[in-house]
Amino acid sequence: MRGEPSNQNVSSDSSAPVSLWELAFVFFKLGTIAFGGPAAHIAMMQDEFVRKRKWITEADFLDRLGAANLIPGPSSTEVAIFIGHAKRGWAGLVVAGCCFIIPAAVMVTWIAALYVRYGSLPQAAGILYGIKAAVIGILLQALWSLGRTAAKTKLLALVGAGAMVLSALGLAPVMVIAIAGAASGVVFRFTKRRGAVSAASFFGKLPLMAGMAAVAAAPASLLRLFLSFLKIGSVVFGSGYVLLAFLRAEFIDHLHWLTEKQLIDSVAVGQFTPGPVFTTATFIGYLVAGVPGAVVATVGVFVPGFIFVALSGRMLPRIRRSPLAAAILDGVVVGSLALMAVVAWQLGRAAIVDWITLAIMVVSAGLLLRFRINSAWIVGGAAVIGWLVRG
């Protein structure tokens, strides 16, 4: 393998210097056109950086993708941060991540401003009527696709079912995930007593993270908004859709800053804009405190990803080799999916109000499962149907 010319060329190109300007331009472009969610983002990055520009080898790309899946935060954004760090160190880490996030954050802020001003008009209500049903279909498709991979044993399926019950009973999302990971790890420990030391160095922090959830309700303020999103960005494992469970627990059940309608509308906006799904936080921040709130929420939810990527370089290879850490992570993943399932049910009750919205949901999920088309097209089509029906 090492003697093949093609590999030598890729290796040579991947070690070539890249200017910060070029790094900024490419990631800004991706942040502007990357519709379709994390899976689409990853595919676009692989095409851009492995095949076209040869900035990074296939093996290195997969290694960074695996690392991003082992730490909290938005996986596709963290892959961007990893690549920026690999090419230009600390400066590249900041530039790549920021340039991937900023285009979507600006678009979402603009849409939030229009929503606040026009959201109650019949035309806007009709559009959101269709979009919200499509979002539930997208959630169902994501649950089906991810669940088949995550629940790979009967034990993990049982852990996921238990996590759903705990979430439905009102337990804080971070506690649900911590319990799911611990349950999977305990069972593994009793069956195969290896890998405990390296796993503990990372997953021993889960109780500390869980404790962050116990924050008293407070009036809407920029500091409180920042701390809420900082907490959420520090503990969300899995796909961006898992974020919804934390948002609902924090801003509807705990702080009472949002309504069910506003939450699902924020999710809808995150679906039909490019870039990270986590820019849902930008929309919520604007609803709570205008432009300053949008900025504070965006910074709060994304900062942990930058920190985890920066600190995880030496730790992650050891964690990934630990059987116990892998078992705990499996539990964390199925726990995250359980949260998704409960939130999909809760939001679905508000979004699916008649046979038309039911049809939009079913068709949306079916199209995504059968043809794997970009979810932005699904959301756009649903918006047109909603406008025609209710506009």
Q: 206 falls in which pLDDT band (50, 70, 90)?
A: very low
Residue owning tokens 């859709």: 241
Which residues have a Cβ under 8 Å from the Cβ of 281 and sit 6 or more positions away? 229, 232, 233, 243, 247, 297, 298, 300, 301
Most confident of 129-143, 292-306, 338-352: 292-306
- pLDDT number for residue 327: 83
What is the C-alpha to C-alpha distance for residues 77 and 31, in angstroms, rounded to an integer?
10
What is the C-alpha to C-alpha distance for residues 165 and 183, in angstroms, rounded to an integer?
14
What is the C-alpha to C-alpha distance for residues 6 and 155, in angstroms, rounded to an integer?
44
Return the closest-CA partner of residue 258 out of 239, 285, 296.
Answer: 285
User: Is this model's pTM higher than 0.85 or not?
Assistant: no
Query: How many CA atoms, within 13 angstroms, populate the side-chain half-sphere of residue 209?
Result: 24
Indicate whether 287 pLDDT > 50.
yes
Measured in residues, the chain has a length of 391
- Tens digit of each residue's pLDDT (9 = 90 or more) over 335-353: 878 877 887 887 788 789 8
- Tens digit of each residue's pLDDT (9 = 90 or more) over 64-85: 776 776 678 887 899 899 999 8
What is the C-alpha to C-alpha distance for residues 162 and 147, in angstroms, rounded to an integer?
15
State percent of the chain over pLDDT 90: 25
What is the C-alpha to C-alpha distance for residues 242 and 335, in angstroms, rounded to an integer?
10
103 versus 62: which is more confidently predicted? 103
What is the C-alpha to C-alpha distance for residues 115 and 121, in angstroms, rounded to an integer?
10
Q: Which of 59-68, 189-198, 337-346 has the lowest mean pLDDT?
A: 189-198
Q: Where are the alpha helices (DSSP H) in the chain?
A: 5-14, 20-33, 38-45, 58-68, 75-118, 122-150, 154-168, 173-191, 196-203, 206-211, 222-235, 243-247, 260-272, 280-312, 315-321, 323-351, 355-371, 375-390
CA of 90: how far to CAs of 36, 93, 96, 305, 306, in Å?
A: 28, 5, 10, 14, 10
What is the C-alpha to C-alpha distance for residues 164 and 140, in angstroms, rounded to an integer?
15
Domain ranges, ordered by start, for the chain? 5-97, 98-390
